Amino acid sequence: MKVAYVVNQYPKVSHSFIRREILALESHGVQVCRYAIRGWTENVVDPTDIAERNLTEYLLRGGLLPLLFAAIYQLVANTGCFFRALGHALGMVRKSDRSVALHIVTLAEACLLARLMKGRGITHMHAHFGTNSTEVAMHASTLSGIPYSFTVHGPDEFDKPEFIKLSKKVRHAKFVIAISDFCASQIYRWCAYEDWQKVVIVRCGIDASFGATGYATPAHPRRLVCVGRLAAQKGHMLLVRALANVIDDIPDLELMLIGDGEMRAEIEALIRNEGIEHAVQITGWKDTEGVRDALIAGRGLVLGSFAEGLPIVIMEAMSLGRAVIAADIAAIPELVQTDKTGWLYSPGSVESLSGAIRQCIAAHEDTHSEMGDRGRRLIKERHDQAREAGLLARLFAGQLEPSNLRGW
């Protein structure tokens, strides 16, 4: 079985879960052809991401000329399908936050993708994120006859479902993957009831080798670690303010921010203004082993997010026996349970986050050990990479029907 993966940008440091999913599928015997719209210049740090970049074909790498030639080819050689795809593309324009020109470029990208897939024996396409990558897959499916599916993660798909025509993408898909119960509920909210049976939950997974053999006392018991892009929705400004709120009461408290992004300068300025430069370290991006080592060395993971799907780093931290402090939003409560696997706080509340930090640092070592054991069991039960990839492989092969898995 040969499957095409379609991603907007691949590889990407914040999307390592896609790489892990692809590699897990290949271990199940699935041949995966990687296609991305962009990403060949991405500054990746993980050696595996560098290897993946060399295996990926990029739709925009040659500029607009190959897109034009591919569109002309489809118009001449596949006229009926081309005009059906054009109709779908024009149907995407109404209420869209993207221009007509961008939707036409997306159609041209689909024309090139259909041409690249031709003769390769690909039997299924799968896109990650229900945004423009799925739009490309939907048009390429119309042009090639190859069925497609896509994984919805959130929060972007839930912020603008009407703009991205989420319901239309679900309607034309063979099936749709939701990464959590909450994610499935949001797809149900925006698609037709008769399409609910297409939705199946396949959870993002963690490789069994990532987790430690058991709970380990942290080398830095008053260090909290935050992993994520330095962007507005990740709430780093809230997190810095909460740290400043409690630091006088918690000697030697530290915060390690792993990641980079467009808000780094603003975050650094706030750290200086709060006078806590001695307590906060921004490391930039780390590879998988670097993140693992940082989580093991610290007391726990803390996230200041305003919007999420279900962060992979929560699964990583819990698989390593670390408690998690996170906002009570989206699918996070499916893993983070106050006084069981960590602490939930009211989203956007500096006071609530400050209180959760105080509880985490004050908790006895035995409490952290018990939380760590619960978290590790939960991740093993729900987020095993090999098991979830096996389920996905059977869906791709048509050996499982989504409606049977969902019990409709």
- Residue 247 makes CB contacts below 8 A (sequence gap 6+) with 253, 276, 279
User: Phi and psi dihedrals of 2, rounded to 5?
Assistant: -120, 130
Q: Using one digit for the tens of pLDDT, what is the confidence trace for 29-56? A: 999 999 999 999 988 888 999 999 999 9
Q: Using one digit for the tens of pLDDT, what is the confidence trace for 342-399? A: 999 999 999 999 999 999 999 999 999 999 999 999 999 999 999 999 999 999 999 8
- E strands present in 303-355: 323-327, 342-345
- Residue 329 makes CB contacts below 8 A (sequence gap 6+) with 305, 306, 307, 308, 347
Could you give the 3-state DSSP secondary structure of residue 372?
A: helix
What pLDDT sits at residue 44?
A: 87
In the chain the domains, ranked by start, together with CATH numbers, are: 2-205+385-406 (3.40.50.2000), 220-382 (3.40.50.2000)
pLDDT at 213 over 80: no
- Residue 142 makes CB contacts below 8 A (sequence gap 6+) with 81, 84, 85, 88, 110, 172
**Amino acid at the residue 58:** Y
Confidence class for position 259, pLDDT limits 50, 70, 90:
very high
Q: Using one digit for the tens of pLDDT, what is the confidence trace for 68-92? A: 999 999 999 999 999 999 999 999 9
Confidence class for position 408, pLDDT limits 50, 70, 90:
low
pLDDT at 187 over 70: yes
CA contacts within 13 A on the Cβ side of 8 = 13
- Where helices occur in 161-309 by DSSP H, the ranges are 166-172, 181-190, 236-246, 264-274, 288-297
**Do the bridges between strand 56-58 and strand 31-38 make them parallel or antiparallel, or are there none, so unpaired?**
parallel
CB neighbours of residue 201 within 10 Å: 17
Of the candidates 142, 138, 161, 6, which has an alpha carbon nearest to the alpha carbon of residue 78?
142
d(C-alpha 24, C-alpha 213), whole Å = 21
Rounded to two decimals, the pTM is 0.95
91/97: higher pLDDT: 91
What pLDDT sits at residue 214?
A: 73
pLDDT at 210 over 70: yes
DSSP code string of 100-157: HHHHHHHHHHHHHHHHHHTTTT--EEEEESSSHHHHHHHHHHHHH---EEEEE--SHH
Confidence class for position 211, pLDDT limits 50, 70, 90:
confident
pLDDT mean over 83-110 = 95
- Residue 367 makes CB contacts below 8 A (sequence gap 6+) with none
Contact 277, 268 (CB under 8 A): no
d(C-alpha 306, C-alpha 330), whole Å = 10
Per-residue exposure over 356-382, b if at least 16 CB sit within 10 Å of its own CB, e if not: bbbbbbebeeeebbbbbebbbebbeeb
Tokens of 265: 């300068």
- Supply the angle between the helices 236-246 and 264-274 in degrees, to the nearest 10: 10
Could you give the 3-state DSSP secondary structure of residue 32?
A: strand
CA contacts within 13 A on the Cβ side of 63 = 1
- Quick one: 262 exposed, middle or buried, by C-beta within 10 A (0-12, 13-18, 19+)? exposed
- Quick one: 351 exposed, middle or buried, by C-beta within 10 A (0-12, 13-18, 19+)? exposed
Task: Calculate what percentage of the chain has a pLDDT beyond 90.
Answer: 91
Of the candidates 77, 121, 79, 127, which has an alpha carbon nearest to the alpha carbon of residue 106?
127
Q: Using one digit for the tens of pLDDT, what is the confidence trace for 135-156? A: 999 999 999 999 999 999 999 9
